Structures are given as C-alpha cells and as structure tokens.
C-alpha cells in the first residue's frame, strides 16, 4: 500500500495529538487518598499551628484528610529534603517558611536545591516581625536606640533564635543599614524571657510571640519590620520610617516536589486560597499576627527566588557561618 504525502501529514497530526488525548487529567480525580503536609519544626511551633489551621479547611475543600507531620531537624532541611525527593504526585507537601530561602545560602552541602527541586504551590500569609526591647532599656524610640548603639558600639546585645535564623539575619541587615554594631547572642530556644528580664537588650521576633508581652508592658516595641503598620500594633511605626529602605518579613507557604502536575498544583493553590479567604480562618491567622497573603503559584515562586537572593546578600556581606 502506498501513502500520499497528505496521508503522512494526517498520520503525523494524529500521532502528535495522541499523547494529549491519552494523558491523564490528574486534577479530575485528585486527591483520592489523604495528603501529608510536612512541617520542618516541632509541634506547637508557628508553622505547625498554621499547618493545622490550614489543613482543616483544605480537607473540607478537597474531600480528603490533610495529615500534618512534624519532622524537625537541621533548620527544617531534613523535612525539605524528604519532600524534594518524594514522588511528584501531590500527596506529600511541604510547609515552606522564610527559613528555607535563608538556608539556601546558609547551608553549603544540602542534598537538594530549593528553587530547582521544590515547586511553589501557594503562599499562606506574611509574618510581621517586631523590634522589641526590655522595658529597662534607656532608649524609648528607634532613633534613640540607634543613637545609643552608635555611642556604645558592640555593647548593645541582640538576641536571636540561633545563628542564621530569621531574627539573626534581620538584625544583621539592620546593623548594616543603620550603621551600628551590636553583640549577637544566639539562643537555641525562645529568648523572650531573657529580653523581658533584661539579660539581653533586644530581639527582632515574630509578631505572634510578642503581642501579649507588648500589650502588657513586659516588652517595648520600637518598630515593625514590614513597610506597612500592623493591625495588632497600629501605633508602632515601621523601622523603614527611620532606616530608609529597611524591610524584613517572614512568610509561610506550601511547596511540592518539582514535577508535580500543573493541574494538581492549580487545584491545591485554589484550596489554600479558598481556605485563607474564609473569614473565620482569616481572623484566626490575624489573631496570630499574620497577614493573609494569597498568591498564584508563579507569584509565590517569584517571592521565593527574590528572597533567596535578598538574604544571600546579607549572609555573605555579614560573613555569617554556622558553627561546626
């Protein structure tokens, strides 16, 4: 049998269309079993709390349970590695935090690449941090604090949640932009009790962990690290009002193994955004000091990329290295 040129063209078009016709429509049936949401921090931590709030709402929207699993270790790198190497089918997700974009530069021998191996799914919220000092500290305002630090180089103590933690990185950026020299005091646990007692002078910490202490006068807030004011502390001005261009915020979001089908990611993105748009969920997150921040998966990916670059510059300029 002889085929004409037109016959070959028709067969070629048919073959080209075949994979599209036979490709499974993943999101039509997804999910058919429970989804695991991995958190790289201990139970009771901020990411764990938000994961459980989010999981309840997503479960009702997806028709399957969201099982939150805490896998702390190495600044969340162990959990991130597990997800990066998991099957890309949407059934294992990662609670991403600002720690992930910091770790991309801070850790030199990771067995995954955050931007290459983790697909952005959705952002959940933006986390405001607050510049808080012990009430006995002589400076009552941020300009007074900067003036005092300049007059006493290396004597003002800055607490953090550990070397390379977000409070440490945010504080290092403040030092460079404000032209001050501080003494870093890294903690393995929560430094707030020592800030309250005056054993250490100040801490740049998450809003949710400081609100009650500030409202009761146990801590004094000198500034908000984000460009906009906080609903929780409306009378506290942004640090940028004094240190021009300063902006440091945390965030929480969801990631999946790279290669997860686009329609599955789209369905998960919608489930996250619909959950955080719920008034009760939004109010709950706001009460923790978080600002709901829905984004497309592409916009969330751009945020991750920009923050990797932003915090890499701070880490490198300050020569921040983990203790061996």
Please give the sequence-ordered ranges of beta strands (E in DSSP) within the chain, or none if there are none. Answer: 35-39, 66-70, 92-97, 118-127, 129-133, 157-160, 183-186, 202-206, 220-224, 250-257, 290-292
For residue 66, give the 3-state DSSP assignment: strand
Q: Which of 43-57, 221-235, 266-280 has the lowest mean pLDDT?
A: 221-235
Instruction: List pLDDT tens digits, range 44-98.
Output: 888 999 999 999 999 999 999 999 999 998 889 999 999 999 999 999 999 999 9
pLDDT exceeds 50 at position 15: no
Q: What is the pLDDT of residue 27?
A: 59
Q: What are phi and psi of 225, to 5 degrees?
A: -80, -10
**Mean pLDDT across 151-169:** 94
Q: Which of 25-29, 211-215, 273-277, 301-305 has the lowest mean pLDDT?
A: 25-29
- Domain boundaries of the chain, sorted by first residue: 34-127+249-317, 129-241
Instruction: List pLDDT tens digits, range 122-149.
Output: 999 998 899 999 999 999 999 999 999 9
CA proximity to 126, closest of 68, 210, 69, 208: 208
Q: Is residue 22 very low, low, confident or very high in pLDDT (cuts 50, 70, 90)?
A: very low
Query: Are both 34-127+249-317 and 129-241 of the same fold?
Result: yes
pLDDT exceeds 70 at position 166: yes
Q: What is the pLDDT of residue 233?
A: 86
pLDDT exceeds 90 at position 10: no
CA distance 13 to 176: 61
Task: Work out the percent of the chain whose per-residue pLDDT is above 90.
Answer: 75
Tell me the CA distances in angstroms from 294 to 153, 271, 303, one per residue in order: 42, 11, 12
Instruction: List pLDDT tens digits, range 196-206.
Output: 999 999 999 98
Tell me the CA distances in angstroms from 34 to 123, 262, 304, 315, one per residue in order: 21, 19, 27, 39
CATH code of domain 34-127+249-317: 3.40.190.150
CATH code of domain 129-241: 3.40.190.10
pLDDT exceeds 70 at position 24: no
Are 250 and 166 spatial neighbours (Cβ–Cβ below 8 Å)?
Answer: yes
Instruction: List pLDDT tens digits, range 170-210.
Output: 999 999 999 999 999 999 878 999 999 999 999 999 887 88
Strand order in 250-257's β-sheet?
66-70, 35-39, 92-97, 250-257, 118-127, 290-292
Q: Which two tokens stand for residue 232?
A: 């929780």
């Amino acid at each position: 049998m002889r085929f004409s040129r037109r016959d070959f063209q028709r067969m070629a078009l048919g073959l080209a269309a075949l994979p599209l016709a036979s490709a499974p429509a993943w999101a039509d049936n997804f999910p058919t079993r429970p989804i695991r949401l991995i958190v790289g921090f201990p139970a009771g931590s901020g990411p764990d709390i938000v994961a459980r709030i989010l999981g309840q709402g997503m479960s009702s929207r997806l028709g399957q349970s969201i099982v939150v699993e805490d896998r702390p270790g190495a600044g969340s790198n162990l959990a991130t590695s597990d997800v990066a190497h998991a099957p890309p089918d949407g059934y294992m997700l990662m609670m991403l935090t600002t720690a992930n974009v910091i770790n991309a530069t801070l850790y030199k021998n990771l067995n995954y690449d955050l931007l290459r191996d983790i697909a952005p799914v959705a952002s959940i919220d933006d986390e405001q941090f607050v510049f808080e000092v012990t009430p006995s500290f002589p400076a009552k305002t941020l300009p007074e604090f900067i003036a005092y630090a300049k007059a006493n180089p290396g004597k003002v103590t800055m607490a953090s949640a550990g070397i390379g933690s977000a409070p440490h990185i945010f504080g290092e950026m403040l030092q460079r932009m404000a032209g001050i020299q501080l003494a870093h005091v890294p903690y393995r646990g929560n430094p707030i009790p020592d800030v309250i007692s005056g054993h250490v002078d100040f801490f740049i910490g998450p809003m949710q962990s400081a609100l009650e202490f500030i409202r009761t006068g146990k801590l004094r807030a000198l500034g908000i690290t984000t460009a906009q004011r906080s609903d929780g502390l409306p009378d506290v001005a942004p640090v940028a009002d004094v240190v021009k261009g300063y902006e440091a915020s945390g965030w929480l979001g969801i990631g999946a193994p790279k290669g997860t089908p686009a329609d599955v990611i789209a369905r998960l993105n919608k489930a996250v955004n619909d959950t955080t748009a719920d008034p009760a969920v939004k109010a709950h997150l706001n009460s923790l000091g978080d600002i709901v921040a829905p984004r497309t998966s592409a916009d969330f990916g751009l945020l991750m990329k920009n923050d990797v670059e932003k915090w890499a510059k701070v880490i490198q300029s300050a020569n921040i290295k983990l203790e061996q």
